Structure formats: structure tokens, C-alpha cells
């Protein structure tokens, strides 16, 4: 029985180090098995005849106790109790004083490793708080920069467009272009204001989501027809905001790199636990063969510029179980993404 206990504890210890298995499961499972083997001896009136396997089982139980103390303190009680009572296999039946003294002595080791696990847990908590504070400081610094510099420049552009509209007898196309510039500047200032508030206090106010895609598509460009189809319901606010961000970046990509585009098709659909996004443009239509805006350069350019844009979104989605890809498609370019619901 001691051999079986030693082997099972080693297996539990190996499983505890697997990244996808919570240490609490291994600690509770290994401790429960050890307690069952310990209880077998008094219940059957037998006594363990070797201590060799205990020298393997006990360190494994102590390691499980420390791991559980670091990750799930309550789970550390089971392997700790198993260590404290493991001598019953050797001394039962025997004098009560010997049994109590043996259990008390072995429990000191369990308490010690559990305390070490709790200490490591406190260090982990301090590290998480330090990282959170650093992120908050960076967020506040970014909010100040957005408010002091970017918003100021956008406001200046907006004022210039408004002043130009006051000129008499403007051609209709120029008047319409200036009106759209003014509306775009106002939307940019609204987005900047919302972003500054979000950076200062993340939980404050709703972030644009799927409901804002229609307004985004309608105000995109006077020369590009944007077809929007949305069939996604009952998704989280975070997923909705991510969908909006992906579509915004895809449209920005069209504006920057596809000046000849005439049509953009946007499809947002719910597929089980994912929201599928597809944005197609015909920006290469009419261009000579081989002049397709550089093939994959649009995606690579964002990577060279510091990991923002499409490349940055691909990395963000990858960390949460989603995906994003982009590349030539037919007469233009296609961006596809999957966002977890």
C-alpha cells in the first residue's frame, strides 16, 4: 500500500505542474488518496512494514501542500492532514501518547510548507498590485498626452474646416467635403474624450460597440459604398467593443491603403462562441497586374511601425482565444477576425 501511495503522490505532483490543471485538484486528489491509504491500516488492523516509500510519498505531499498554499490555500488542508496522520500506518495500534506525539511532530512540517506557500502567495499578490499600479500610471500618462496634444491638434483642424465653410459661394462638392471633415473631427473629439475618460477610470461609460457600426459605416466616406450586415446578438460588452475596434481598424486600413476602393462589404455574424468578422474591399480594382498595394505589405507595415493596427489587434485577439488575418482577396483586400463571445 505504501508503494501505491508513493506512486500516486508522484503522479499528482507531476500533474500539479501542468499549466492547465489547477494545483488545488492535484493537492486534494493526492491528499485524499493518501488519507484513504492511511485509514486502510487501522480499519484492517494491519501495520506498514517499511518506511522507504514514505520517504518518497511525504516529500511529494509536502510539495503539493506548498503549491496549494500558494494557489488555493483551502486545498492545502487535505495534503497537510495527510502528512500529519501518515505515521498511523506505522504506529497503529499503539499507545495514544505515541500516536499524538507522532502526528503533532509531522504536522509541524505540513504547517511549515503551508506557511511558505502562503508567503509566496503574498509575494504574488504584491507583484500583481505593483504591475496594476504601473499600468494605471501609464494609462494616466497616456490620457494626459491625448488630452494635451492630440485633442488640441484635432480641435485646430476642426476650427479650420469650420472657418473654410464660412467662405461665400463654395462649390457643392467642396462644401460637402468640408462638412464631412467637420463631422469627422467632431466624432474624433468625442472618441478622444471617451478614451480619456476610459483611461482615467476604465469602468466609466460605455465603449462603442456593435450598435455603433451603422453610424461608423454611414460616416466613412462619400465616395465609397459601405455595405453592413450584422447578425450577432447576446454578446458581452467587451466582445462588442472589440468587434467595433476591428471594423474601425479595417476601415482605416482601406482609407490609408486603398484610395481606389469603391465598395466595402462588412459582415458580422455569431458562430457559436465566436463572433466572425469579415471586411472586404475592392481597392485593387482597375490597377495593373502586380500593383496590388504591395501584397501583404499592409499587414507588415503595421508590424514595422511598432505593433499597432492590424498586427496589434491580431496579437490582442490571440491572447484571448481569437484570431485575425488579412491579405489579398479577389480584386481587393480581406480582413477576417474571430472574437470570443
**All residues at 6 or more sequence positions from 100 whose CB lies less than 8 Å from its CB, including other chains:** none
The three grid cell numbers given for residue 71, joined into one nine-digit string: 494557489
- DSSP states of 176-228: HHHHHHHHHHHHHHHHHHHHHHHHH-TTSSPPP-GGGHHHHHHTS-SSSEEEE
pLDDT value for 266: 93
pLDDT value for 293: 45
From CA 33, how far away is CA 74, in angstroms rounded?
Answer: 17
pLDDT value for 227: 92
pLDDT value for 52: 67
| R_g of the chain, CA atoms, integer Å | 32
**All residues at 6 or more sequence positions from 32 whose CB lies less than 8 Å from its CB, including other chains:** 78, 82
Tens-place pLDDT, residues 44-82: 766 655 566 677 778 888 888 888 888 888 888 888 888
- CB atoms under 10 Å from CB of 231, counted, come to 11
- CB atoms under 10 Å from CB of 59, counted, come to 17
Instruction: Find out whether 299 and 305 touch, Cβ atoms under 8 Å.
Output: no
pLDDT value for 203: 46
Instruction: Find out whether 194 and 206 touch, Cβ atoms under 8 Å.
Output: no
Q: Minimal CA–CA distance to 41: which of 27, 54, 59?
A: 54
- DSSP states of 235-300: --HHHHHHHHHHHHHHHHHHHHH-TT--EEEEEEEEETTEEEEEEEE-TTTTPPTT-STTTTHHHH
Instruction: Give the DSSP letter of residue 24.
Output: H
From CA 31, how far away is CA 71, in angstroms rounded?
Answer: 16
**All residues at 6 or more sequence positions from 196 whose CB lies less than 8 Å from its CB, including other chains:** 143, 146, 147, 151
**Percentages of the chain per state (helix, strand, coil), in multiples of 5:** 65, 10, 25
Query: For the chain, which ranges sit under pLDDT 70?
Result: 1-10, 12-21, 45-53, 94, 147-148, 197-198, 200-207, 284-309
Is domain 209-341 annotated with CATH 3.30.70.20? no
From CA 265, how far away is CA 246, in angstroms rounded?
Answer: 14
**All residues at 6 or more sequence positions from 258 whose CB lies less than 8 Å from its CB, including other chains:** 281, 283, 284, 293, 332, 333
- Domain ranges within the chain, ordered by starting residue: 2-128, 209-341
Strand partners, 269: 231, 276
Q: For residue 148, is it left (φ>0), alpha (ψ between -120 and 50) or beta?
A: alpha
pLDDT value for 292: 43
Amino acid at each position: 500500500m505504501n508503494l501505491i501511495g508513493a506512486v500516486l503522490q508522484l503522479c499528482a505532483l507531476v500533474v500539479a505542474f501542468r499549466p492547465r490543471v489547477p494545483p488545488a485538484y492535484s493537492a486534494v486528489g493526492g491528499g485524499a488518496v493518501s488519507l484513504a491509504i492511511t485509514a486502510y491500516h487501522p480499519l484492517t488492523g494491519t501495520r506498514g512494514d517499511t518506511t522507504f516509500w514514505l520517504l518518497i510519498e511525504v516529500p511529494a505531499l509536502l510539495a503539493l501542500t506548498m503549491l496549494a498554499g500558494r494557489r488555493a490555500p483551502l486545498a492545502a488542508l487535505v495534503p497537510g492532514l495527510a502528512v500529519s496522520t501518515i505515521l498511523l500506518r506505522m504506529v497503529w495500534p499503539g499507545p495514544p501518547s505515541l500516536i499524538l506525539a507522532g502526528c503533532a511532530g509531522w504536522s509541524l512540517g505540513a504547517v511549515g510548507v503551508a506557511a511558505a506557500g502562503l508567503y509566496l502567495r503574498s509575494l504574488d499578490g504584491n507583484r500583481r498590485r505593483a504591475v496594476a499600479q504601473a499600468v494605471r500610471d501609464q494609462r494616466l500618462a497616456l490620457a494626459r498626452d491625448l488630452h494635451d496634444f492630440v485633442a488640441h491638434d484635432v480641435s485646430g483642424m476642426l476650427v479650420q474646416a469650420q472657418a473654410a465653410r464660412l467662405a461665400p459661394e463654395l462649390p457643392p462638392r467642396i462644401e460637402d467635403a468640408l462638412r464631412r471633415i467637420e463631422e469627422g473631427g467632431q466624432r474624433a473629439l468625442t472618441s478622444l474624450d471617451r478614451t480619456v475618460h476610459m483611461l482615467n477610470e476604465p469602468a466609466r461609460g460605455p465603449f462603442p460597440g456593435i450598435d455603433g457600426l451603422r453610424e461608423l459605416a454611414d460616416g466613412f466616406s462619400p465616395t465609397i459604398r459601405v455595405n453592413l450586415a450584422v447578425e450577432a446578438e447576446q454578446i458581452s460588452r467587451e466582445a462588442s467593443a472589440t468587434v467595433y475596434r476591428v471594423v474601425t481598424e479595417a476601415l482605416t486600413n482601406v482609407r490609408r491603403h486603398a484610395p481606389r476602393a469603391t465598395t466595402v462589404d462588412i459582415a458580422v455574424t455569431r458562430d457559436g462562441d465566436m463572433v466572425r468578422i469579415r471586411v472586404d474591399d475592392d481597392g485593387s480594382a482597375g490597377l495593373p497586374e502586380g500593383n496590388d498595394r504591395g501584397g501583404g505589405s499592409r499587414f507588415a507595415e503595421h508590424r514595422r511601425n511598432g505593433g499597432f493596427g492590424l498586427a496589434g489587434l491580431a496579437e490582442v485577439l490571440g491572447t484571448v482565444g481569437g484570431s485575425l488575418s488579412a491579405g489579398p482577396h479577389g480584386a481587393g483586400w480581406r480582413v477576417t477576425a474571430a472574437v470570443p463571445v
